[in-house]
Amino acid sequence: DMKTYCTVVIALLLFAFCSQTLTESNSLFYILASHEPNKCCFSYFKSRIPERVVKNFELTISTCKIPGVILHTNKKLEICANPTQLWVQKIKLNY
């Protein structure tokens, strides 16, 4: 019957569309995940962060618009800091 035929066709089209979307999303996820360490800062945290709350840090890559130091805190926060600030340079030296 025509109603069943239309339902099957719509279901197949929906399945094909969803499969393609998931494949593209997963590919995008892997591209982003493979570049995860290469984060950029778009602004700097304005206040000084106490050294005792910093677990480690990473530098942003040279292709970022502004240079930055990403501070990883004990509470798993990521904070962008200005690498020219003296307190940031001290943290870099101690880790």
What is the value of pTM for the model shown? 0.60
Secondary structure in 3-state letters for 13-82 = HHHHHHHHHHHHHHHHHHHHHHCCCCCCECCCCCCCCCHHHEEEEEECCCCCCECCEEEEECCCCEEEEC
- 10-59: pLDDT as tens digits: 655 555 444 443 333 343 333 333 344 568 999 999 999 999 999 999 99
